[in-house]
Structure 1
């Protein structure tokens, strides 16, 4: 089933993807592939793990069919995901209409937040004039 709106909440370990319409809802959970990287004294580099490209690709797959996507999360993972989409997945980038910082909501809170966000966005769009 395809839906027009989708919201993805992600951190570096997990992504919760919800696609929804007027009365229906579909949830997908995607788990990250990388292990945590611990910085050691005397090592070259900043100690941060590189972006988990396979994780981002799995999230993109879970968003297939969505016309508009809202990306939420507590930290940098959401921004890394959007940068990845901008650089490597232009079709997904054009569907991302918002990126916001949100801590750790429940599934119900997340869907309610997204519905309210999309409702407000839809109201701000100009109406198409009939030809």
Structure 2
């Protein structure tokens, strides 16, 4: 099931992806590979593979909020801009947060998207 909004909490090792609408929440977790090779730059390749998996999980979602540490957000944003430019416009915001529960993360995202939709002129249901 692909829903309209998603919030992602990520660090450099895992990503918690929560797609939601007014009534449903669908969770998915993506973990970075723990394999290491002796090739030059393998850590960068492993990180790129991880971010590619996150992008694949977000494919088709119209509006995405990225949360987590500033460093993880900046690295993911850089990856998007360089390797997935078509998905850049789907990410409508970045918020720095610690380690919220899934319920806290969805509540934060609902508030964010309510404000975002109002700023975009989208009517909100009463």
Query: Which bracket does the TM-score occupy, shorter chain normalised?
Result: 0.7 to 0.9
Size of the alignment, in residue pairs? 116
- What is the TM-score when the length of structure 2 is the normalising length? 0.84
Deviates most, 27-36 or 64-73: 27-36
Task: Report the aligned-residue RMSD.
Answer: 1.9
The corresponding residue for 1:56 is 51
| Counterpart in the other structure of 2:16 | 16
Displacement of 1:111 in angstroms is 0.7
Change over 3 Å in CA distance of 1:127–1:64 after alignment to 2: closer
1:6 aligns with 2:33: no
Given candidates 78, 96, 103, the residue that maps to 2:73 is 78
CA offset digits 1:82-121 (Å, max 9, x no partner): 1111111112111111011101101110111001100111
Q: Which runs of 4+ in 1 moved over 4 A?
A: none
Query: CA offsets per residue over residues 14-68 of structure 1, 9 Å max, x none?
Result: 10001111211110000012569xxxxxxxxxxxx53600100110111122101
Q: Residues 102-121 of structure 1: matches in 2 within 5 Å? A: 102-121=97-116
Higher helix share: 2
Task: Report the alpha carbon displacement of residue 127 of structure 1 after superposing the two structures with TM.
Answer: 5.3
**113, 119, 125: which one pairs with 1:124?**
119
